[in-house]
Amino acid sequence: MSPSNHTNRENRGYIIPIGGAEEKLHNPEILDRFIEVCGGKSARIAIIPTASELEDTGRNYEKLFRKIGVKHAAVLNLLTRKDCQQPEFTDYIEKSDGVFMTGGNQLRLSTTLGGTPVAQTIRRRNAAGMHVAGTSAGAAFMPEHMIAGGAEGSTPSPDMVTMAPGLGLTNNFIIDQHFRQRDRLGRLLTALAYNPFAVGIGLDEDTAAFIRPGDDLEVVGSGGITIIDPTNLSYSSMDRARRGEPVSLVDVKLHILISGGRFEIQSRKAFAE
């Protein structure tokens, strides 16, 4: 699945991956910023809880958005691929200012939404200016190349990551979440060794990347984002490493950015503030 090409990327809506466990009660900075980007409290938000196996996940986010002050927030209970073909759901997305995908299991998102009218509508509307946020599994699902699972650890290895097609909102990034909390540096490096044209985004919990039209990003939240840039990768042993063996990567650039930090995709430059 490739990114939508229905319009110039400068007109595209924000892509907002969140590392999971975002603050929801005392200072919901990330959710407040998402609502602001979507147009404020009069925005219409579509909540997609497909990744979660908990029945109340979507309803809890609906209550949360309404508590923050959003007047129009609705849960789209997309449980099956047949659900994703129903006009009532695509029509709501057509009229929405933002889509929010909850956490859970990203394979539930890819196998349920992938290739359906709902996925196509989200991609087309994002290309035309609608904003899309996702937390945890919802974040991993956003790019063309999705990290579906993998092992913990800092050193890359050929069998450390499982990849699958994602939603395809961008092919410039590969996204991982709960990054520092679950020691996922190695699996993101492995994913980039397989796809060295992309830039890696490792999201700590309660931390989001607000990726603007044009794919420049800003960090929002209480943690950090690890940016891994393989543009100048000069050597990789991935092609000869066996299962379980460590992989050597030379000339990979790494940045750690906290709230207010920025990264420009075209220039590949990072800024602390």
| 136 among known catalytic residues | yes
| Phi/psi at 236 (5° precision) | -140, 135
Give the integer Cα–Cα distance in Å for 49 and 78: 8
Q: Is 96 assigned a catalytic role?
A: no
Enumerate residues 6+ apart whose C-beta is below 8 A from 142.
15, 17, 132, 134, 166, 167, 169, 170, 175
The count of other CB atoms within 10 Å of the CB of residue 12 is 26
Considering 52, 110, 136, 157, which one is annotated as catalytic?
Answer: 136
3-class secondary structure, 34? helix
- Of 22, 62, 144, 205, the catalytic one is 205
The dihedrals phi and psi of 179, each to the nearest 5 degrees, come to -65, -60
Distance CA 238, CA 52 (A): 34
Catalytic site residue 273? no
Question: Rounded to the nearest 10 degrees, how much is the dihedral formed by the CA atoms of 119, 124, 125, 126?
Answer: 90
Is residue 126 within 8 A of residue 12, CB to CB? The reply is yes
The catalytically annotated residue of 144, 178, 218, 255 is: 178
CA-CA-CA-CA dihedral for 198, 202, 203, 209, to nearest 10: -30
d(CA 32, CA 27): 9
Give Dmax over CA atoms of the chain in angstroms: 56
Cα gap 55→22, rounded to integer Å = 19
Cα distance from N-terminal residue to C-terminal residue, the chain: 34
Positions marked active-site: 136, 178, 205
